[in-house]
Chain A
């Protein structure tokens, strides 16, 4: 197993997280570099995710590396019944690192166990998506100037939202205060509240969005998915209550920024887009620099000095 894999945000210490964010700022200032020259990176997307794949591939290409891979399991040998282990063993004999998205939870950890080259998890089912978490942190740092002592309001699907859960884990290093706003069906699971209490993180809960975020520094919105609801009437009600509109931002703090992992559907009204507090498209762009930082870190021991 390669110890340099990035499977879960908890694989990184506070210092490693801060290193990635520092390094992302360097790439933002100067995105075209040659740190991955001569390296081949495989992007194995067993389920489609255009945004994440293009972001990783752009990151590699801007660092001078080359890409092999597939963007849909239907076009790969896994459609013929090849096991993940065999695919990883085969690809790791071609590539210096593997970026992988897989529909099964735990697939990335398993791949990291059987692969001699580093695995970067680009999402394993509903489990982990650490590059998303790191780009969220980078966006928070960039807009607030610090990660310490912030009030972060998390809205929407707090039950199944993996980006939300990973963000809580990652922010736990920086003394945050959380406000969890979710409909009853999609409330924050107990294990994360237990985690907060154990780590001395204060939080409050609410079921209504309204202007509950007037003290917040970050408003992190997520998509409320129809398929999560047993009662479709309830979904219709929730969908309307959980739509952020521009006029709801009147009393918010001047430094407030709105984040969203995208794609958004109805939860942010398009009239918010022109507000300077809307940061979600810049957030997606930040993903490129963060992924450049991740790929550089993951491949660092393989890059000879002087390159």
Chain B
């Protein structure tokens, strides 16, 4: 009951729940919500039984595409994405890491061409090991997914 009072219900759109509090604004940034004109509700530092403190994003009248939501897998792999229509959850969308990630990740190698000239970044996602790594398409350096730098 208390939960409903804190965050108003959504008629149509996308809800991203269970975002770790320190990742909320990264999610806002990689989804470019700062320039989105739809009604958006952000909430942060809500109590969560699962992760302690969580953030939440509600975007009205816009169902995010899969290639958009999959970017979230990079920084908040346990976030929950629900697509809402007429107050009902019509889709619980699993987060799947894409095979390739463009632009949102910064290469950790200071000597990489992408950190020195106007070249947008491109990373291949290596999923064959238990520990997922990203490999810079240009300088070929690999980085563990939890050490990825988001632009």
Contacts and interface: CB of A to CB of B under 8 A. Distances in A.
Interface stretch (A122-130, A210-218, A248-256): A122-130
B140 interface: yes
Contacts, number: 55
A84 interface: yes
Contact of A104 (B113, B137, B142): B113
B140 A104 contact: no
A110 B140 CA distance: 12
B53 to A, nearest CB: 34
A84 B111 contact: no
A110 B138 contact: yes
Contacts of B72: none
B87 to A, nearest CB: 47
A114 to B, nearest CB: 9
Interface in A187-227: 191, 194
Interface string A98-116: 0000111111011000000
Contacts of A102: 113
A85 B136 CA distance: 19
B142 A125 contact: no
A105 B141 contact: yes
B118 A110 contact: no
B90 interface: no
A1 to B, nearest CB: 12
B51 interface: no
Contacts of B140: 8, 105-106, 109, 127-128
A154 B117 CA distance: 35
B108 to A, nearest CB: 12
Residue of B107, B116, B137, B142 with highest tally of chain A CB at under 10 A: B116
A83 interface: yes
A104 B116 CA distance: 8
Residue of B137, B138, B140 with highest tally of chain A CB at under 10 A: B138
A106 B112 CA distance: 6
Interface string B116-143: 1111000000000100000011111110
B70 interface: no
Nearest to A125: B111
A38 B119 CA distance: 34
B45 interface: no
Contact of A109 (B109, B116, B137): B137
Interface of A: 8, 83-85, 102-107, 109-110, 124-128, 191, 194
